[in-house]
Structure 1
Amino acid sequence: MYNQSSKRKGRDGMIIPKNIEELASYAEKGKNVFFFTAGWCGDCNFIKPQMPEIEAEFPQFQFIQVDRDDYIDVAAEWNIFGIPSFVVLNDGEELGRLVNKNRKTKNEIAEFLQRVEG
């Protein structure tokens, strides 16, 4: 089982899974926001600097950064056909998704997460 104390975080504080098993453990347990991104994605790089503020505004979620290129099979399985995209799971059950190829704003992401929270 994945050791929670070994969480690897990126510079922006998001958890970055080390492998597919670790990614799967987050998908199965907890209330998590999966942020699908890629280094070459201009719209992803636009929103990334704002993610720490979004994370601070929604402490009830863990934020998981998923590099679409590293996990292309997962992206396909989850129907992630545009990035940046966000998928929220609670103990394996999908609560909502913000998946399209458009640039996302901080307000748009916050409104999405508020809707998911109910």
Structure 2
Amino acid sequence: MRNLQSTEEFHALTKEPAIIFMFTADWCPDCRIIDPVLPKIQKKFANYTFVSVDRDQFIDLCIELDIYGIPSFLAYVNGQEAGRYVSKDRKTQTEIEEFISKLSQ
């Protein structure tokens, strides 16, 4: 998973055909729990580009997007927000996969 480099890059990437941003932080224990399953999720949903967004580095962007809990996921398809899985709760591989599966319905 690549890391977001700038707010400008975020806005440019939202115009991609299918992209999912994962909002995370190094200190977040719930984020570290899902780290081992992320490669499997990315492989299963290879039609999406996955980008990691460090919440602490991009706090203004998180405020702009109403993302306060992490880990959280924000999906865009062809420039439009397609869905968000935003909460402070721990997420399982199954829950993340269900969220992504519903995006294409």
What's the TM-score once normalised by structure 1's chain length? Answer: 0.85
1:76 pairs, out of 43, 46, 63, with: 63
Alignment of 1:4-15 (within 5 A): 14-15=1-2
Partner-residue secondary structure (3-state), 1:22: helix
**CA offset digits 1:28-51 (Å, max 9, x no partner):** 223100000000100001111110
Question: Percentage identity across aligned positions?
Answer: 41
Query: Partner residue of 1:101?
Result: 88
Q: Determine if the alignment matches structure 1 residue 30 to structure 2 residue 28.
A: no
Number of aligned residues: 105
Cα distance in structure 1, aligned partners of 2:5 and 2:71:
20
RMSD: 0.9
Cα distance in structure 1, aligned partners of 2:77 and 2:49:
10
Q: Which runs of 5+ in 2 are unaligned?
A: none
Query: Partner residue of 2:100?
Result: 113
Cα distance in structure 1, aligned partners of 2:56 and 2:78:
25
Cα distance in structure 2, aligned partners of 1:19 and 1:61:
20
What's the TM-score once normalised by structure 2's chain length? Answer: 0.95
Q: RCO greater where, 1 or 2, for CA within 8 Å and sep 6 or more?
A: 2
Q: Determine if the alignment matches structure 1 residue 51 to structure 2 residue 61.
A: no
Cα distance in structure 2, aligned partners of 1:117 and 1:48:
24
